[in-house]
Chain A
Amino acid sequence: MNDRTEGQEDNRKAAPAGDPGAGGGSWSNRRRRARNSLFAAGEPAVWLTGGALAICTAMVVGLLLLVLWQGLVTFWPQAVERVTTPDGETYMGEITRHNAYAPEESVLSSLSEQVAQQARQDLADDGQTIRRLFRTGNFRLTQNHFTWVDDFSVEKRDKPEWALVLERLEWGRFYGFPEQFVQLHPLDGQTPQALSGSLRTGLAAGHSLQLAVSAPGEPGFALHPLADLRAAAPTPDPAAADAAAGGATPEAAEPAPAPTGIDPSEVIAIAEVAEGPEAAWAAFSEHHGTVRERWQRRRSLEKHDTGKINHKQEQARLAMRSAAMDLETATENANGGTSPEIDRARTRLEEAEAEFEEVRTWANEAFADIRAEIDRINEENGRYQLVMKTAGEGTAPAQTTYARLDGIVRAYPANQLGTGGKVGIYLSRWLEFLVDEPREANSEGGVFPAIFGTVTMTLIMSIAVVPFGVLAALYLREYAKGGVVVSTVRIAVNNLAGVPSIVFGVFGLGFFCYVTGASIDQLLFAAHLPNPTFGKGGILWASLTLALLTLPVVIVATEEAVAAVPNSMREGSYACGASKWQTIQRIVLPRALPGIITGMVLAIARGAGEVAPLMLVGAVKLAPELPLDGTFPYLHPERSFMHLGFHIYDVGFQSQNSEAARPMVFTTTLLLIAIIAFLNLATVALRTRLRKRFAAGQF
């Protein structure tokens, strides 16, 4: 700015003075043009560069904000709304989104008179109508998760106080009103009369006792009033004596046995019933925790304990198989003759077979135990049922349905929640998301295995790529004499960065899985064949493939960092009598370390976000086991794994219930970005620490 104004003043002064000479005039004109031109001033360049930066920033920040916002609001509990239409349809659920549209005339004409009139009026007023997407849930009753409702077709809209949201293990969400809470008390040899008598004493207010009679169908029982119980059987027996003993109670004191009624032998349990939404909700809250704890125990039994037994059995089978293979080899070596080798192998095989039989017997017993325990837990959990009544689905009337407590992950009366309650639900959803396993084909539940897989893979990748990349770059910079070969290698490395990542995936599949992995299987895991151990996609191969993919990043960054080390330092070191390697190790590497770690940051960012090659070399939709667990050898690099990037693709584009899964896409994206940012920050922190440490010379 300053320069420019000064220049203009100069020109003004110079113009009259330099006027006489014609040549001077043109010179002065040229000078003036040059000084006054936009480019001479330099200001347009500021706007150009600043504008470019602003656009870049806006795009990046916009994307991040979108992901952040969508990812953060997904788990926030929404109010549950109920709408009714003049046609008598009822819908209840959460509004997930809305949009404006103008319905076709043909659509309007198919509507009832009242609704169509309202729609036409809306159209005349605003030129458009609004429709809202209700997450109505209740999939088993309606075969739908979502329903569009037009604003013009709504007659009444409210937020029922006792609308309850159930997040279930299966079949998605359920919206309805709690009607009853049923807790069955098994007879355990007592007569119904005796049990109900003893239960009555400690009965909570608002609870009543009913008879649970076994019935076919979903909950497995039907409820009847205690009064329906047929009194004592005709023949005097202990039950009758009991009934007589309990005669103090009014119900049992009813006189003659009615010809109709329920035979006591049909009664399977006495049901303690909490009637009405309030009492049912209170009872539910009381029991849900313990039921879920039992369910967790059951899941742990199914997964870990069964897994351990399976593992043991598999080990025994493999030992037997490997002994059999030894015998085969020995027989072949002996060329049809006999040899001590064969005898020894045969003995070993017999031993292994005996061992296997033993293990199998043991395993069957253990399985039976576990199954018994699971059945017990199942049965116990089945005693707790929430009876829900829907608001009515479309034109269908409201229905009543039983919900087992162990199938309910989370329940909340959405319209009663205060801010604190909403935050509680929000946090508990996040917690589940972060530490739990996915359910409902990945569209619900947590992503812990994917987080674990992503982080583990990235770490293995870093461990593989950084040393190799740094050593290669050191050779290129420090040892190799400049020339055609080095230039070619450098160009090749740079071009490697431009190869589509899926090509790396194909290479990884071909080289790591089918060649390297298959060879390892032949050598070390022959007994497992034909089931591949390493000869298929796994976390190790995925990590190595990504290491290959990110190698150029590390090499280029290291080369530049090494080149940036001043030559005077190297000379100083040589002059002290240091050898080349000592100089590299003590001077060049510490000095280049921040740059090298910058390369590592870039490699991590690139590798953690990569999806395409992973599909080929080991990332799967649902991995049954983590690559790290309590079974020897603890780290299982051959296992396939889940990955957040792949999870996003899978949930967003391969899901059955894509509408419900869509919010998960944003949440998972947010999580992936957060993890990459965290890994990067950790690396930067490491860089700062190492810089200090190496700079202080304490190595």
Chain B
Amino acid sequence: MPERPDAVINDTVTHATEDAAMNQPIPQSTDASPDLPAAGAGIAVSARSSKAVAEDGPLQAIARGETPASAIHDSVGEHEAVLEIDHFDFWYNQTAQALYDISMNVPYGKVTSLIGPSGCGKSTLLRSVNRLNDLIDGVRIEGDMRLKNESIYGQGVDVIELRKRMGMVFQKSNPFPMSIYENVVYALRIDGERRKSVLDEVCERSLRGAALWDEVKDRLHDLALGLSGVQQQRLCIARAIAAEPEVLLMDEPCSALDPIATGKIEDLIDELRGTYTILIVTHNMQQASRTSDFTAFMYLGRLIEYGATQDLFTKPQLRATEHYITGRFG
């Protein structure tokens, strides 16, 4: 691969080695000029680790244990953020760091997908949003997140109330061992809602929202575990949207499903777009490109690049991203 002396992040630095090449920003094909302007290329860089990135690509920096700055497209900033992640660090067992200085804004009403190879911290980040990681012993965090400008990790936050503002769909469908109806209205039940009219209405709305109503309306009081895999997953989505969440978190919702079922779930995500803000973790790059408006690429606990899906998949700013989405590593 020919060396590109014009590779730039903020400070323009050239790279001489072949290895470093993939870490470099690639030239924007639409951009006529070979010399990319510092900030004009739509790359925002946090000041903290700029030096490391300045010397070589982000993967080298990561290999050295440093945290390179994330390449965040301008297009993200054009939307109103519902969830802001602010210099977020995360440790398991007090010592094993899983997330490094993640800063990203999740735009309102859009589908944002997190991609990256296994173990890159996508799920950890997702589960940090509704503080599900609190359940694990020995977890430590630094930094903060904000949901509609309210701190998530601040002092005196009511985690229970916080979680009620978000819905979550898991990798493996986990319907509760109760009826379909009770599954859907679970969030309302724990809030003490007893009015049957309200429950019925929410149940129907949520099931319609999850495109499950027609299939199960005659057996609402049957055991949820009797549903097929994809129906169970849609039931979980119905359960997650029953309480009108501000953010819907999806942790690889299709990884346990066959392609047809996956297609159904993707259609459903498409329908939910606009109504809900969705943050979805996926292993499947096609899925990310098909379903999401924005995509964030993570690697070894760092956020590498984050931008509009179309941009990220067609003209990524970093070679690492390009190599990952084209399947050359990861």
Contacts and interface: CB of A to CB of B under 8 A. Distances in A.
Contacts of A698: 179
A697 B178 contact: yes
Given A587-B176, A590-B177, A572 B170 contact: yes
B90 interface: no
Interface stretch (A17-25, A440-448, A486-494, A576-584): A576-584
A695 B178 contact: yes
Interface stretch (A106-114, A232-240, A563-571): A563-571
A577 B190 contact: yes
A472 to B, nearest CB: 21
B170 A571 contact: yes
Contacts of B161: 577
Nearest to B223: A695
B132 A571 contact: yes
A697 B183 CA distance: 8
A573 interface: yes
A574 interface: yes
Interface in B130-187: 130, 132, 135, 137, 160-161, 163-164, 166-168, 170, 172, 174, 176-179, 181-183, 186-187
Contact of A568 (B163, B164, B174, B191): B174
Given A577-B164, A697-B182, A572 B176 contact: yes
Contacts of A582: 190
A677 B61 CA distance: 70
Interface stretch (B27-35, B235-243, B266-274): B235-243
A481 B139 CA distance: 14
A577 B187 contact: yes
A696 interface: yes
A576 B179 CA distance: 16
A571 B135 contact: yes
A657 to B, nearest CB: 58
B11 to A, nearest CB: 43
A194 to B, nearest CB: 84
Interface string A527-551: 0000000000000000000000000
B177 A574 contact: no
A577 B191 CA distance: 9
B239 A697 contact: no
A566 to B, nearest CB: 7
A523 interface: no
A576 B178 contact: no
Contacts of A587: 176-177
A577 B130 CA distance: 9
A11 B97 CA distance: 54
Nearest to B135: A574
A576 B243 contact: yes
A697 B179 contact: yes
A575 B172 contact: no
A573 B168 CA distance: 10
A135 interface: no
A571 B176 CA distance: 11
Given A572-B170, A575-B130, A576-B163, A697 B181 contact: yes
B221 interface: yes
B166 A575 contact: yes
A643 interface: no
Given A696-B221, A697-B182, A575 B177 contact: no
A566 B172 CA distance: 11
Given A481-B137, A568-B170, A694 B163 contact: no
Interface string B178-221: 11011100110111000000000000000000000000000001
A132 interface: no
Nearest to B164: A577
A586 interface: yes
Residues of B in contact with A, size category: 20 to 34
A358 B50 CA distance: 105
A695 B175 CA distance: 11
Interface residues of A, number: 25
A64 B225 CA distance: 40
A482 B136 CA distance: 12
B178 A573 contact: no
B178 A574 contact: no
B178 A590 contact: yes
Contact of A577 (B163, B174, B178, B225): B163
Nearest to A587: B176
Contact of A575 (B181, B221, B223, B240): B240
B132 A586 contact: no
A586 B223 CA distance: 15
Contacts of A317: none
A570 B134 CA distance: 13
A168 interface: no
A591 interface: yes
B161 to A, nearest CB: 7
B324 to A, nearest CB: 28
Contacts of B249: 575
Contacts of B176: 569, 572-573, 586-587, 697
Interface in B211-264: 221, 223, 225, 236, 239-240, 243, 249
A577 B160 contact: yes
Nearest to A570: B135
Interface string A195-234: 0000000000000000000000000000000000000000
Contact of B174 (A571, A578, A586, A695): A571
A566 B221 contact: no
Among A482, A570, A577, A591, the most chain B Cβ lie within 10 Å of the Cβ of: A577
Interface in A578-618: 578-579, 582, 586-587, 590-591
A350 B77 CA distance: 95
Which residue, A573, A586, A695, has most C-beta atoms of chain B within 10 A?
A695
A582 to B, nearest CB: 5
Interface string B120-133: 00000000001010
Nearest to A583: B190
B32 to A, nearest CB: 49
Nearest to B189: A586
Contacts of B168: 571-572, 575
A434 to B, nearest CB: 41
Contacts of B223: 695-696
Nearest to A593: B177
A572 to B, nearest CB: 4
A287 B15 CA distance: 121
B145 to A, nearest CB: 16
A578 B179 contact: no
Contacts of A591: 177
B285 to A, nearest CB: 25
Contacts of A482: 137
A574 B132 contact: yes
Contacts of A695: 177-179, 223, 225
B132 A566 contact: no
Contacts of A571: 132, 135, 168, 170, 174
Contacts of A569: 174, 176-177
Nearest to B130: A575
A566 B135 CA distance: 14
A49 to B, nearest CB: 33
B137 to A, nearest CB: 7
Nearest to A566: B174
Contacts of A481: 137
Contacts of A579: 160, 190
Contacts of B174: 566, 568-569, 571-572
21 contacts: A574-B132, A575-B167, A575-B168, A575-B170, A576-B187, A576-B239, A577-B187, A578-B186, A578-B187, A579-B160, A579-B190, A586-B176, A587-B176, A590-B177, A694-B177, A695-B178, A695-B225, A696-B179, A697-B176, A697-B178, A698-B179
Interface of A: 481-482, 566, 568-579, 582, 586-587, 590-591, 694-698
Given A571-B132, A571-B170, A574-B135, 9 more contacts: A575-B132, A575-B167, A575-B240, A576-B164, A577-B190, A586-B186, A694-B177, A695-B225, A696-B179
4 closest A-B pairs (Cβ-Cβ)? A697-B178, A697-B182, A577-B164, A575-B168
